[in-house]
Amino acid sequence: MADYTIKVRRYQPESGEPAYWEEFNVELEPSLSVLDGLLQTKDRTDGSLAVRCSCRAAICGSCGMKINGQSGLGCKTQIGEAQALADKKAAAVGGASEGNVITIEPMGNQPVIKDLVTDMESTHWEKFRRVTPWLLPAGTPPEREYIVEPESMIDITQSMACIQCGACVSSCLSMEADPLFIGPAALAKAYRFVGDPRDAETSERLTDLAHDPHGIYDCTHCFSCIDACPKGVAPMDQIMRLRRKAGEAGIEDPNSGHSHEMAFVKIIEKKGTLDESMLLQESFAPGVLGKLMPTKRAIKEMIGSLPTAIRGIKTGKMRSLPKLIPGIHHKLPGGAQDEVKAIYKHAEAHNEEFNLYIKGEEGDEEAAVQEGLEPDAADYLPTGADKEASNG
């Protein structure tokens, strides 16, 4: 047993008072959870402390909250670890290296109803319904099951593993800037259908999500959602898959999000660092031919971008000459550019998804070694486990 102090952000709507902090002492084994600490407080000290919870085992998704500022599940965060993190954070800014309080707050990006209970309906479920979250197969179903690639089902099981806890929504920086952003959870759900070979509306779904100004190109790649997700769903990865599929399907989105991304990729491959003066035209009129014969839209977009470019010059963001004149941006010195190209080559040769259900933990190659296979080859081989199981 150890003693901990939890400092809870409380809000009692009927009191007429604003939100406030309250500290509680709890006594728990370090391996028990932050939720256990809250439940002990409810049971012993103050039953009015409101927190949604049910399974206590990271399955139901009820107890999303911020612990020491990080979004996650109360039941999945061990209180001993939370204490260690609180101490580490305090020490990093010159505070005491032990005995700090563990702060617990309601999730972010969601209005608070009471204490740790937030309004997920308006901030999550509404957006969830926005992505048409049900299968839309073509025609009448077959007499038996749909025959699909085994890997495809394992692949989308990663997004099916989402328990809708809202931790990713809570941590999403894009949503903080744009509350209308469809958001990581709902977009991961969208991939569950886009990646499902039984769904017949893939193209419509992708077009819809690419054309929505608050859709897939609203994500800024910040990785917060991957960090926050307690179930390994990696929502940002699902958003990137949606983008890739939209790009592959030639869906031209009004934000030019896809071509903008491709422009980044191309410039870095060529120059190693970002040639900002190239970025605009590569985004809107890519390639030599594009530059010679820009489409009406490209011209319009580039003219429309002029104020931004001028602001860049005025504020000093683009001050050196090479940053202003397209094409003369320096390459990396020595053989560094070749190394960048080698990275590209490697990435292209290993152009596969990171999926926990297929690959196991990151860097976990033991299973493959045991089976006497090269790690890369083993990752995508069917296991034959069905046969084994039916013998049991």
- Of these, 85, 90, 309, 367, which contacts another protein (CB under 8 A)? 367
Using CB under 8 A, which of the segments 169-177, 193-201, 213-221, 242-250 binds another protein? 193-201
Site for another protein in 155-184 (CB under 8 A): 156-157, 160-161, 163-164
> Binding to another protein by residue 374, rule CB under 8 A?
no
Radius of gyration of the chain (CA): 25
Using CB under 8 A, which of the segments 200-208, 243-251, 268-276, 365-373 binds another protein? 365-373
Q: In whole angstroms, how close is the CB of 166 to another protein at the nearest point?
A: 11
Using CB under 8 A, which of the segments 132-140, 178-186, 255-263, 304-312 binds another protein? 132-140
- Of these, 17, 23, 27, 149, which contacts another protein (CB under 8 A)? 149
Q: How far apart are CA 344 and CA 262, in angstroms?
A: 13
Nearer to another protein, 97 or 383 (CB): 383
> Binding to another protein by residue 43, rule CB under 8 A?
yes
Nearer to another protein, 321 or 385 (CB): 385
Using CB under 8 A, which of the segments 250-258, 262-270, 316-324, 382-390 binds another protein? 382-390
Q: In whole angstroms, how close is the CB of 339 to another protein at the nearest point?
A: 33
Site for another protein in 238-277 (CB under 8 A): none
Nearer to another protein, 205 or 359 (CB): 359
Pairing type for strands 112-114 and 20-28 reads unpaired
Q: How far apart are CA 73 and CA 9, in angstroms?
A: 16
Nearer to another protein, 144 or 296 (CB): 144
Using CB under 8 A, which of the segments 130-138, 253-261, 296-304, 325-333 binds another protein? 130-138
> Binding to another protein by residue 53, rule CB under 8 A?
yes
Nearer to another protein, 119 or 176 (CB): 119
Site for another protein in 12-41 (CB under 8 A): 12-14, 31
Using CB under 8 A, which of the segments 9-17, 205-213, 221-229, 265-273 binds another protein? 9-17
Using CB under 8 A, which of the segments 85-93, 271-279, 289-297, 381-389 binds another protein? 381-389
Nearer to another protein, 145 or 348 (CB): 145
> Binding to another protein by residue 384, rule CB under 8 A?
yes
List all residues 6 or more positions away from 194 whose beta carbon is below 8 Å from its beta carbon: 202, 205, 206, 241, 242, 245
In our burial notation (b when 16+ CB lie closer than 10 A, e otherwise), range 41-76 reads bbeeeeeebbbbbeebebebbbbbbbbbebbbbbbb
> Binding to another protein by residue 375, rule CB under 8 A?
no
Residue 103 buriedness (CB in 10 A; 0-12 / 13-18 / 19+): buried
Q: In whole angstroms, how close is the CB of 161 to another protein at the nearest point?
A: 6
> Binding to another protein by residue 59, rule CB under 8 A?
yes
Site for another protein in 310-339 (CB under 8 A): none
